[in-house]
Amino acid sequence: MSAGKYDVVIVGAGIVGAACALECAREKMRVAVLDHDVIGGGATAAGMGHIVVMDDSEAQFALTRYSQQLWQQLRPELPDDVEYTQCGTIWVAADDEEMDEVHRKASYYQRRGVPAQILSAEDLERLEPNLRKGMAGGFLVPEDGVLYPPCAARFLIEKAQAYGATVQLGASVSHIGDGRVRRADGSELSAGVIVNAAGAWAPELTRGISVKKRKGHLVITDRYPRFVQHQLVELGYLKSAHAVSSDSVAFNVQPRRTGQVLVGSSRQYGAEHKEVDHEILTRMLQRAQEYMPRLAQTSAIRVWTGFRAATPDKLPLIGPWGEDSTVYLATGHEGLGITTSLATGRLLADELLGRASEIAREPYLPSRASSMEHAHV
């Protein structure tokens, strides 16, 4: 291969693109990463940064658990500013119906060897005294954690660079295909494979893929050390996250290392503007205060929004885009991109090398039928 040509050009230096760059560079491919902005400046900077196991589907469970284990392997290398904290997740059950879901989850996790624990109402009150009294109980997943995603993305990029990857920031890409990447300034790069890791903006470069923007809001408070000790998520979250059409909010808070409390979450389709939507922000904070009444006495210091890259079946698109043999996708991670970034990088590198993966790759292939539903809506 001649100079100036790359084996792999990755468009997007978010955490997914960063993980793909690392895995490809580690395998001695010649890698370039392009981003129109900075490292981890899109959904990576806007998200909560959880490293969680999720069980909406078998494929989602396999990807999140595999990726969580990869994060745990990487943990000794992570710099302090990545703030990896294994705080655990508590799924909060507000009533008996949600407690039934706790028991279902417990048996699911147990069968698959994921440590977890059912919490009684008393356990929950002892572990998280700022939750509203009278909850039915909860489900503790101790190996879940949180980290600070922009620094994690930077760490992955720097590691990729140590393996020889090239990074070009402030480089807008206007077109990809046929082994070429055209920048907005008209210059071109030549690549064996182009990976579209542009998150919610991926459809602008690869027309027809079933990725939509799903807007979210987050709020961070001033420092209130020990206000919350675990990541807390309402079990009603499942109903909210599954509503594919309407706007929804759910209670989800995280302790940050500074003592700040990160408060979410909201989900909106069709909202393309990045400004704060006060109506849904109000609903989100009301929901949070229903679960943690004392949040009302805390001081919020910042509110921001971001765009998740959502697919119809809640699974990312990882692998070849069938309509151009040089284009691969690594997008559609919705709210789980921080968790699933490392597994995405591994699966993509496995695919490019034609080697077996530790988990089945088929559920995430862009060619799967269930990924195409958006196109017919």
Partner 1 sequence: MSEQVAVSVNGRPVTVASGSSVAAAVMVAGASCRTSISGEPRGPLCGMGICYECRTEIDGVAHKRSCQVACTSGMEIRTDG
Query: Which stretches of the chain bind partner 1, using CB under 8 A?
Result: 222-224, 258, 297-299
CB of 228 to partner 1, least distance (A): 14
Instruction: Count how many residues are written for the chain.
Output: 377
Question: 147 vs 280, which CB is nearer to partner 1?
Answer: 147
Question: 276 vs 296, which CB is nearer to partner 1?
Answer: 296
Alpha-carbon dihedral of residues 159, 161, 164, 170, nearest 10 degrees?
150
Question: 115 vs 225, which CB is nearer to partner 1?
Answer: 225
CB of 44 to partner 1, least distance (A): 22
CB of 151 to partner 1, least distance (A): 15
- Contact call for residues 327 and 10 (beta carbons, < 8 A): no
Element (H, E) at 237: helix 237-242
Element (H, E) at 154: helix 149-162
Record the tokens describing residue 28, joined without a space.
């001695």
Question: 162 vs 296, which CB is nearer to partner 1?
Answer: 296
Does residue 53 sit in helix, strand or coil?
coil
CA distance 244 to 166: 38
Question: 130 vs 371, which CB is nearer to partner 1?
Answer: 130
What residues are paired with 216 via a beta bridge? 306
For residue 237, which of 284, 307, 279, 277 has the smallest C-alpha distance? 284
CB of 135 to partner 1, least distance (A): 24
CB of 222 to partner 1, least distance (A): 5
Question: 58 vs 222, which CB is nearer to partner 1?
Answer: 222
Strands 89-93, 31-35: pairing kind: unpaired
Question: 208 vs 225, which CB is nearer to partner 1?
Answer: 225
Does residue 303 sit in helix, strand or coil?
strand
DSSP string, 190-217: EEEEEEE--GGGHHHHSTT---EEEEEE
**10: Cα separation from own chain's centroid:** 18
Question: 184 vs 296, which CB is nearer to partner 1?
Answer: 296
Does residue 135 sit in helix, strand or coil?
coil
CB of 259 to partner 1, least distance (A): 9
CB of 299 to partner 1, least distance (A): 5
CA distance 278 to 323: 41
The sign of the dihedral angle between the CA atoms of 363, 366, 367, 370 is positive
Record the tokens describing residue 214, joined without a space.
């799903």
Record the tokens describing residue 108, joined without a space.
């699911």
Question: 163 vs 224, which CB is nearer to partner 1?
Answer: 224
For residue 364, which of 333, 337, 336, 326 has the smallest C-alpha distance? 333
CB of 223 to partner 1, least distance (A): 8
Question: 95 vs 222, which CB is nearer to partner 1?
Answer: 222
Angle between helices 15-26 and 337-353 (to 10 degrees): 30
What residues are paired with 169 via a beta bridge? 35
CB of 40 to partner 1, least distance (A): 21
CB of 301 to partner 1, least distance (A): 8
Record the tokens describing residue 335, joined without a space.
């709210």
